[in-house]
Amino acid sequence: MLRKKCGIFMKINRKNLDMFMGQLIENEYSVKTVEKYDRDLKSFASFVGEKEIEKQDVIRFKEELCIRYKPRSVNSILAACHQFFSFYDRPDLKVRQLKIQQAFCPQEKVLTKEEYMRLVCTAYELGERKLGLIIQTICCTGIRVSELSYITVDAVFKGKAEVRLKGKNRTILIQDELQKLLLAYIRERKLSNGAVFVTRNGKPLDRSNDKGRCRPGKGISP
């Protein structure tokens, strides 16, 4: 077994990277895994430079990753860094990984197809097109009313929204049919950016301003 190079170090260079990769190979990690760890750690090395690594550097690296990658990819890269830190006996450099929330709804709270269609049809029959689209968006994506502000013009064009709320992150996919409906709405409203669903004052629709508005018959701003 390769010996760890312990002590107060923490400059990341090709020599200590090679020692770490050698340990992975000795532990029979797959070639693809070793290559991935090598890429991730080279990325970290490029970010930090040749200075001695401090925890604040890892925090800043994590922040940079959050801008460029999805939460799961961020956690995967951080996992490579954490294993590297453990190999060199520096667990104090580890940072918290992102919390990723899995969408889940109890069976008894799931709308039947008939109930969903009735809600949508009622909204459109009452001339509440926006309400109909909101219902379709919530039911097709599984988001909450409080997360409607994440359905932006940019998100609709991309076909996905990145929801970051209360320290939890998840990606919401916007299915093709829903995307077509929302794109048509965006074009008709001549929206260029920001939230798709807004109040009369132009504020993103959420739980603080939806009272009495998100029920057929009550109406929301068209």
Q: What is the Cα–Cα distance from 38 to 51, expressed in whole angstroms? A: 19
State both tokens at 11. Answer: 């400059």
pLDDT range class, residue 47, cuts 50, 70, 90: very high
Rounded to 5 degrees, φ, ψ at 146 are: -65, -15
Bridge partner residues of 162 (DSSP): 171
C-beta separation of 150 from 162 below 8 A:
yes
DSSP state of 28: T
Q: Which one, of 155, 128, 157, lies nearest residue 143 by Cα? A: 155
C-beta separation of 8 from 51 below 8 A:
no
Segment 184-206, tens digit of pLDDT: 999 988 988 899 998 877 787 76
Q: Which one, of 210, 67, 71, lies nearest residue 148 by Cα? A: 210
Give the type of residue at 85.
Answer: F
Segment 6-46, tens digit of pLDDT: 444 567 888 888 999 998 898 888 888 889 999 999 999 99
- Whether pLDDT at 135 is above 70: yes
Q: What is the Cα–Cα distance from 29 to 22, expressed in whole angstroms? A: 10
- Is the pTM above the cut of 0.75? no
C-beta separation of 154 from 134 below 8 A:
no
